[in-house]
Structures are given as structure tokens and as C-alpha cells.
Amino acid sequence: MANNDATIRKHWNSLYGDQHNDKLDDFIGWLGHFATSRVIKPQPAEWYKDAIVYSLYVDLFNNDFDGLTEKLDYLQKLGVNCLWLLPILSSPMRDAGFDISDHTSVRHELLGLPETASRQEKQYAFRRFLEAAHQRNLRVIFDIAINHTSDQHPWFVESRKNADNPYRDFYIWSDDDTKYADARIIFKGLEESNWEKDETGYFFHRFFNFQPDLNYRNPSVLTEMVKNLVFWQGEGVDGFRADAIPYLWKEEGTDCENLPQTHIIVKFFRAVLDYVRPNTLLLAEACQKPVEVVKYFGDGDECHAGYHFPLMPQMFKAIAMQSNRPIRTTLSPKVTPEIPASAQWFTFLRCHDELSLELVYVSEEDRAFIHKHYCKKPEWDFRMGEGISARLADLLDANPDKIALAFSVMLTLPGTPIIYYGDEFAKRNDYEYYKEKTAETGKDDTRFLVRGYIDWQQLDRDLADSTSLAARTYNRVSKMVNKRKHHSTFGRGSIFWLEAHQTNGKINDHILTFIRKWQDERLLILHNLSVQPQTFRLSIQPEIVWTDMFGNEVDYHEQEQTITMQPLSYFWLKM
């Protein structure tokens, strides 16, 4: 504990100097009492490297936590072992729950409880779900926005009353809208400024105008936000997705992103989480280039993991180009630096947001190519060309071969994969939900297209029909997920790229092939990104007829020493 205390104090002093040490002493006293008053077992080190994550909205997935509990067997059968719950905390729901009004309370409707339910009733109902998930060896992480709150949060309600209110300094207020002029507008096309005029002044926000940014220059904001995470550690949550992490600290004359003080804040969060329950996952949501994201791993003392945002659009580009180059370039050391041994990338094909094409991590050329190829309807456009609001099945032409190929690429590359709910059975864009939420929120947010409810009765019928798109997709994805789950090499191993050569000796870029190696296991992975059959040679040759993990025999011509792969096909081979 002494080492933890010293680390916490070091980071505090880096932010605030010798000021506010009385607040720090009070906080460490509170933290020590919390840690000793509960029996909280530490988690296994680096458990997240063996995770296969399933991301879902509780209400859209199956109404509430009782409904989700009923479907835990479905999720187990699919093969996932970690649930990422998209925002579940109390919220007016103007931004799908990322506008939090109470950080220590789950929305009553998700728990099947009336609005009048007590905090204790809600905690009990949520713990009941956690226990059911943990009994099935499913870990649970959830979103927590640490950069901002809802404008209906009690802190902000007090803050906006007048300039002398004790909570005024919990947020960033100004007499005008000229400060932090170099901070970009993130929701371009949805917001015109980072400042919002209120009766008592202007307040700063990086996202929607009903999401005021917190002021971490005030040490009380830091301690109160950390206490929120510690509260959920005590309830049994296994980790947190730290939403909008690059924007925590603001500094005049900068773009207010990835500042040194932001990293110190993250180190403080991590030190406290380690104090209470070591190996509680802290996952960085940083829409940045890998060279910036890796800084959120620190020296293994910031986030355990971070999203590899640039890889996602490059997987789509690779499929559109029918070439391995976008993927190989993105994962090369010149784009993706080495990370600490304990850290991990989280990878994904789709998520609750748009297929992001921010110039932060794609070039103008890449953005134009991907947008032209995949934005097939005007209403899919998001943020004036900076993204595409479409589900995986819509992007890939409802073609089960393309969808399975995309999953195979994601599931075999380094990192921890995330499956967005419904993509495993080719769920489509939901136009009714989009219209409903646009009318309700007053914001034409096309990301609502990629959300929407699951119709379980219809899905059961579709999965029972082996010819349906849902069944043809689900059966292949589930096989891959379950196979991956039993091979730690995918989550922990190194990657060695191979070149495929045409019979004339030229490199065949249509083939994405590599070896994954960990301990004594070696796995050879082959993907044909082309819509045409491909015949090629590898520098390694088989000693016997190869059969992949799914029982498919490789078409190998022994005399010619060539392999022929069908369009959009893949092999996972044990060597």
C-alpha cells in the first residue's frame, strides 16, 4: 500500500504542486478505508489478452438486464467471454447514454425497476446480473465518460446558477467564447462551436452542447471522478472503457488534445484502480494515430489497452482494394509503434459509432477512397465526409463470404477483438430507429442507423433456416470465435508476415498471409481478399496435406507447389 500511496502522491503533485495536499490526504484516507472494508479479489494479470469482447446496448439487445441475463447462454454459445456494456448509467439519453447525470447509478429502466426504486434496489439488481455473467466466465466492462457530464448532472445544475456557486469550478466557464480557439470542433456539422452561451456565461464542451466538459484543474473533480470508478470496482465490474480520454486537460494555445497533464490524470486513475483491485481493465478510447495512442499505455502505468482506430478503416480499404497492403502498412512499425509487454490493442470492424474517417488517423486520399467505395447512400454520411454510418452487413453488400472474411481478418490479427452486437448474424441498418431517435433528440445523428433493437423471434426463425443471411453469417462467425478462444496465440502471440507469389514470381497482394507464434504454437493464416480464385506459392511448403482448423482441405498442388484459394476465402492452419 505504501508504494501505491507514493505513486498517487507523485501524480497529484505533478498536477497541482504542493497545493491541496489536505484534499489528497483526505482522499487517500478514504481510499484506504474503502479498500480494507471490502474483500475484492485481484483479477488475473493480462486477462484482457485472452478476451473476445461483445459490445451491446442492454435495452437494444434485449430490453433490460433480465433480458440480457436470459441471453447469456446465447453469448456463451457464440464464444465471447467479455461483455462491453455501452452506456448504462443514469442519463437523459440525448447522446445514447454518454451524457451521464449520475455516475454511481444504473438507469432504472434497464434494471426493470420503477423510477422510484431506491439506490440499494438498483445496486442489488445490477449485482444479480454481474453474478450471472461471472458464473458463466463472462467478464463485464462498461463505458464511463470521464471528460464530460450531462447538463442535467447535479454538479452542472449547481454550476450554472451563478459564478459564486461551489460547483462552478467543476466545469469550464468564461465570460466569452474566445478561449481555447485552437481546439477543433469534433462534431463538425452537428455543432458550430465548443462554447455554449448560458444565462450566467459561456461553458466549454468538446462534444454536444448538452455535454459540458469537466475541469480537471480543480482537484475535487479528479478525486470525485476516481471515486466513481472505485465504487464500481466494489460492485464487481471488471473494467472500464474510458470515453473521450485525450481531451481531459485544456491549455491555451494548444489543440487541447493529448496534453502531458492528461497523461498524468490517467496515471492517477490507474494507480488508484491498482490500489483497490489490481488488473481492473482501463481501456483508452482515443481516436488518434497509433503513435499518440501508445502514449496512453505509458510505461505500463496508464491504460492496459487502447483501440486501434486506424486499423479499422484500413481493413475495409483492403477488402475494397483486394490488397493486403493497407493492413500491412498500418501494422508496420512506422505506423504502429511497439507497445509495453503488458499492453494490448483492441480491434474492431464496427462499433456503436460511425465508420470513422477522421483526418486524425486517415489521409485525405484514404478518406476519399473509403467514403466513395462504402458510403452507398446519402443518409449514411456522417460529419460531412468524416465517417459512414452503416452496419457491417450493409457495408459489405450483405455478402456472407465478405462478412466472414472480414471477421477472419480481425480475429487472426494481433489484439483483442470486439464484436458489435448483431454483426455476428448480419444485422442491417435500422431506419425506423434512426427516425425515432432523430425526432426525440433533435439531432440528425446518423449513428442511430447502426443501433436499433434485435427482434429475437425473427432471429430464431432466421437462424433455423440454414439458407438465410443470418444463419450463413452466424454459423461461420461462431465457429471462428470459438476456435480463437481456445488458442491464446491469437491474443498473445507475435506476427510474422509472409509474401505470396504468383507462378511468374511476382508478389500476389491479393493474399494476406502471416504466421502467429506464441510459446510452442505456430499458426499459418491465409486470406484471399480477391473476388477471383488465386493460385500462389509461399516460401514455406507443407510436408503433408494441410487441413485447416475448420476441417477444410487446402487445395495444394504438390508438383507445382502452389495453393489455390477460392474468392473471399480463408484458412487457419496449425503448423
Three-state DSSP at 474 gives helix
Instruction: Calculate helix-pair angle for 119-135, 219-235, nearest 10 degrees.
Output: 60
d(CA 368, CA 361): 13
For 405-420, b where at least 16 C-beta lie within 10 A, e where not — what string?
A: bbbbbbbbbbbbbbbb
Contact 216, 265 (CB under 8 A): yes
d(CA 107, CA 100): 10
Instruction: Calculate helix-pair angle for 311-321, 364-374, nearest 10 degrees.
Output: 60
Catalytic residue among 243, 257, 386, 401: 243
Taking CA atoms, 25 is separated from 31, 234, 427, in Å, by 10, 21, 51
d(CA 243, CA 232): 16
d(CA 441, CA 358): 24
Strand order across the beta sheet in which 355-356 lies: 355-356, 387-388, 381-382
Catalytic residue check, 338:
no
Contact 301, 267 (CB under 8 A): yes
Instruction: Give CA 21 to chain center in angstroms.
Output: 35
d(CA 478, CA 473): 9
φ, ψ at 417 (rounded to 5°): -85, 150
Among the listed residues 164, 160, 170, 169, the one whose alpha carbon sits nearest the alpha carbon of residue 199:
160
| Residue whose cell numbers read 470542433 | 185
Contact 526, 573 (CB under 8 A): yes
Among the listed residues 241, 187, 195, 244, the one whose alpha carbon sits nearest the alpha carbon of residue 358:
187
d(CA 165, CA 171): 11
The count of residues in the chain is 575
End-to-end CA distance of the chain: 46
Instruction: Calculate helix-pair angle for 400-412, 469-485, nearest 10 degrees.
Output: 10
Taking CA atoms, 202 is separated from 160, 161, 167, 199, 507, in Å, by 10, 12, 15, 8, 59
| Residue whose cell numbers read 464542451 | 205
Catalytic residue among 46, 95, 285, 386: 285
Three-state DSSP at 528 gives strand
Beta strands 521-528; 555-557: pairing state: unpaired
Catalytic residue check, 364:
no
Among the listed residues 532, 480, 503, 494, the one whose alpha carbon sits nearest the alpha carbon of residue 323:
532
Q: Which residues, other chains included, contact 475 with Cβ-Cβ below 8 Å and sequence gap of 6+?
A: 466
**Active-site residues: which are they?**
243, 285
